[in-house]
Amino acid sequence: MNQPLDVLLTKLASIGRLLPEYEAAIHRLPFRVVELDRGKPAAMEGEVVNHCCVVLTGLLHRQKHMLDGNRQILSFHPPGDIPDLQSLHLRKVDYTLAANTPSVIGLLRHADMHAMLRDHPGLTGLFWRDTLVDSARFLTWMMMIGQASAEARMAHLFCEMYVRLEAVGLIDGRAFNFKATQADLAAAMGMSIVHANRTLQELRSTGLLAFSNGVVEILDWQRLCELAQFDSAYLHLSDDQAGT
């Protein structure tokens, strides 16, 4: 059965135990499909929402603006993610969620999700866990932005995208799609566009990766991880799924 929400199931299975009962419940969930052009918002800072969205294809990102207009990209969201799952309990969103690439999303009504979670408390734990993994990624990003060199930061971002996309089967050999512009990368890593460009050139010239036209190819995973000081533990893929 090839249904739109399958990628969500893959994602959930990658971070926890997904019982057949839960799969069935999720497949019963009503959703509305929406297409987004690049740059178009799915949720705006300050808005109060009563639905969340699951990424079906494409790539979304969250960003937050300072009062003076500067923006920080907080995270990227490949298919399978529910970037605004926290809106279930924090209905006023405090970031902008936008399409980084032309994307297709599915809108899930809070009411439907609450009903589903009420009937399946174990699924509540899995969704909660998903928001916690989200949070764990922020910890690592914060550490990288605060402490790592520009080169390490940039390398780390590519490492993370590689591992996360692999978890949902979106890696083709050693290459994957990542259409973020250099301005996006700069906003994500807290550096200027010019510096992002030069940092990328550094990574390319040392033969760690290729990146052009929105396609990344990892050329030396080993050295890339070393440079990035990358340890995928923080993504909590298939580690303790203990539960009670």
Strands 71-77 and 51-65: antiparallel
Region of 214 on the Ramachandran plot (φ > 0 left; ψ -120 to 50 alpha; else beta): left
- How many Cβ atoms are within 10 Å of 57's Cβ, its own excluded? 15
Which tokens sit at 232? 């995928």
> Of these partners, its own copies, DNA, none, which one is at the site of residue 92 (CB under 5 to 8 Å by kind)?
its own copies
List Cα–Cα distances, 49 to 29, 73, 123, in angstroms. 18, 21, 22
**Distance, CA of 160 to CA of 191 (rounded, Å):** 18
Among 134, 161, 167, 224, interactor with its own copies by CB under 8 A: 134
> Of these partners, DNA, its own copies, none, which one is at the site of residue 165 (CB under 5 to 8 Å by kind)?
none
Question: Smaller CB distance to DNA: residue 25 or 183?
Answer: 183
Q: In the bound complex, what is the minimum distance in angstroms from residue 28's beta carbon to DNA?
A: 38
Taking a C-beta distance cutoff of 8 angstroms, is the pair 87, 110 a contact?
A: yes
Q: In the bound complex, what is the minimum distance in angstroms from residue 151's beta carbon to DNA?
A: 7
The residues binding its own copies (CB under 8 A) are 46, 48, 62, 64, 66-68, 70-72, 74, 86, 88-92, 94-95, 110-111, 114-115, 118, 121, 124-125, 128-129, 131-136, 138-143, 145-148, 189-190, 229, 231, 233-234, 236, 239-240, 242-244
